[in-house]
Amino acid sequence: MRILVTGVTGQVGHELSRYDWPEEVEIVAASRHDLDLADPGAIESYIAAGRFDAVINPAAYTAVDRAEADPVTAWKVNALAPAAMAAATHKAGIPLICVSTDYVFDGTKADAYDEEDPISPVGVYGASKAAGELAVRTGNPRHVILRTSWVFSSHGANFVKTMLRLAADRPHLRVVDDQRGCPTSARDIAAVLAKITLRLIADAQAPTGTYHFSNAEPTTWCGFAKEIFRQAESFGYRVPDVEAIATTEYPTPARRPANSVLDPTKIERDFAVVPRPWRKALAEVLSDLAHGATEEPEVTR
Ligand SMILES: NC(=O)C1=CN([C@@H]2O[C@H](COP(=O)(O)OP(=O)(O)OC[C@H]3O[C@@H](n4cnc5c(N)ncnc54)[C@H](OP(=O)(O)O)[C@@H]3O)[C@@H](O)[C@H]2O)C=CC1
Ligand SMILES: Cc1cn([C@H]2C[C@H](O)[C@@H](COP(=O)(O)OP(=O)(O)O[C@H]3O[C@@H](C)C(=O)[C@@H](O)[C@H]3O)O2)c(=O)[nH]c1=O
Ligand SMILES: [Mg+2]
């Protein structure tokens, strides 16, 4: 059984390539070097030639602020590439599993977003991901779009590593306390993607569509930062004081939703996935970071 995984140098792709897959699974890990997603024309022939049983696409243009000044690249990678993947996987008769984001929502809802809530992105990144969702939905009926949020891991760029890096030479950090969401471990996302993919390969009647998955227990970026340092102290990291500020006090090129908590009820029901609290997953990531467990995975090429 051959499964194509994109974005293997990123957080989720890395965890997928080191996931404990069943013996019969061969992961074909495509990096930018193998398949440049800013060149959607190359995608169809790559998938047509690959004899894959499924495609998992965690690759994306994820630089939220940079996307505001580089919308064309963001739209190529986040919208046109998934459109090409949908066409190619549909033609090959195989499922496509894509990853999307809480940033497709505008954040004005008071409680958690479910899959039926209307999307209304407030920035280029969210808009390009929303377009990618639409392309996948219309291009291949055998798809799952897994929306997740606030991804962290020991590998790649994320808020946890940014906080630890900033704290190394600053005694005082200011972090927004009026954007709510759920931090989510890349490893937990990979496990969910693996479960969904194996089910879709095995069963033509398996559920398809859009699903929300994040780790449990909503917080704010400031709440996340404070917990990072509460836990990091025991690993010997320097602990700054963290000041709660408003979004207006931290201007960024891209707007972000004020609330992007995702309701996981549907994935719990259809795929028997039970999200664990992000604080538990954070402890594992901090331990990995402290013990230098970030070596590159062995992957099939
Ligand atoms: N990060 C987050 O907080 C969140 C992410 N998501 C979604 O989850 C998914 C996984 O995110 P995450 O693992 O954090 O992403 P990362 O930013 O860690 O990794 C992105 C991956 O995409 C690859 N990529 C980017 N541009 C291209 C290109 N032109 N051609 C080929 N590969 C390319 C990168 O390759 P290279 O290393 O060569 O640049 C990298 O492997 C994405 O779909 C993202 O939208 C959803 C919610 C939150
Ligand atoms: C570094 C820093 C950030 N912030 C704020 C800025 C922003 O509002 C918030 C988070 O900043 P970041 O730039 O790390 O996070 P951001 O890039 O917005 O993260 C997003 O990435 C994309 C890919 C997603 O899909 C989202 O789910 C989400 O994870 O924290 C502070 O208030 N103080 C700081 O010192
Ligand atoms: Mg960012």
Q: What is the CATH number of the domain that holds 65?
A: 3.40.50.720
Tell me the C-alpha distance between 67 and 126, whole Å: 10
| pLDDT for residue 82 is more than 50 | yes
Pocket test for ligand 2, best of 180, 228, 241, 256 (most atoms within 8 A of CB): 256
Tell me the C-alpha distance between 96 and 115, whole Å: 18
* 67-77 average pLDDT score: 98
| Ligand 1, CB cutoff 6 Å, lining residues | 7, 9-13, 32, 36-38, 58-62, 77, 99, 101-102, 129, 148-151, 156, 186
- Whose tokens are 């998992």? That residue is 56
* 101-111 average pLDDT score: 98
Cα angle for residues 269, 13, 75 (degrees, 5° grid): 90
Residue 295 in any domain: the answer is: no
| pLDDT for residue 295 is more than 60 | no
| pLDDT for residue 268 is more than 80 | yes
| pLDDT for residue 294 is more than 70 | no
Q: Quick one: pLDDT at residue 54? A: 98
Residue 296 in any domain: the answer is: no
DSSP string, 100-130: EEGGGS-S--SS-B-TTSPP--SSHHHHHHH
Total tally of structural domains belonging to the chain: 1
Cα angle for residues 167, 168, 170 (degrees, 5° grid): 55
Q: Say how many Å lie between the CA of residue 172 and the centre of ligand 1.
A: 30
Q: Quick one: pLDDT at residue 299? A: 40
Residue 198 in any domain: the answer is: yes
Where residue 16 falls among pLDDT bands split at 50, 70, 90? Answer: very high
* 148-177 average pLDDT score: 97
Q: Quick one: pLDDT at residue 40? A: 83
Residue 297 in any domain: the answer is: no
Q: Quick one: pLDDT at residue 19? A: 98
Catalytic residues: 125
Pocket test for ligand 2, best of 61, 153, 175, 214 (most atoms within 8 A of CB): 175
Q: What is the pLDDT of residues 27-41, one digit of tens each?
A: 999 999 999 999 988
H or E element in which residue 55 lies: strand 54-57
Q: What is the pLDDT of residues 215-225, one digit of tens each?
A: 999 999 999 99
Tell me the C-alpha distance between 235 and 225, whole Å: 16
| pLDDT for residue 301 is more than 60 | no
The residue whose C-alpha atom lies closest to atom 48 belonging to ligand 1 is 149
Report the atom number in ligand 2 closest to the C-alpha of 150: 29
Residue 27 in any domain: the answer is: yes
The residue whose C-alpha atom lies closest to atom 14 belonging to ligand 2 is 159
Report the atom number in ligand 2 closest to the C-alpha of 221: 30
Burial (CB < 10 A; 0-12, 13-18, 19+), residue 137, is middle
Residue 202 in any domain: the answer is: yes
Report the atom number in ligand 2 closest to the C-alpha of 159: 14
Report the atom number in ligand 2 closest to the C-alpha of 166: 35
The residue whose C-alpha atom lies closest to atom 31 belonging to ligand 2 is 175
| pLDDT for residue 292 is more than 90 | no
Tell me the C-alpha distance between 271 and 21, whole Å: 17
Q: Say how many Å lie between the CA of residue 157 and the centre of ligand 3.
A: 8
The whole-chain average pLDDT of the chain stands at 96
Residue 47 CB: number of other CB atoms within 10 A? 22
Residue 298 in any domain: the answer is: no
Residue 192 in any domain: the answer is: yes
Tell me the C-alpha distance between 12 and 30, whole Å: 13
Complex ipTM: 0.98
Domain of residue 111, residue span: 2-290
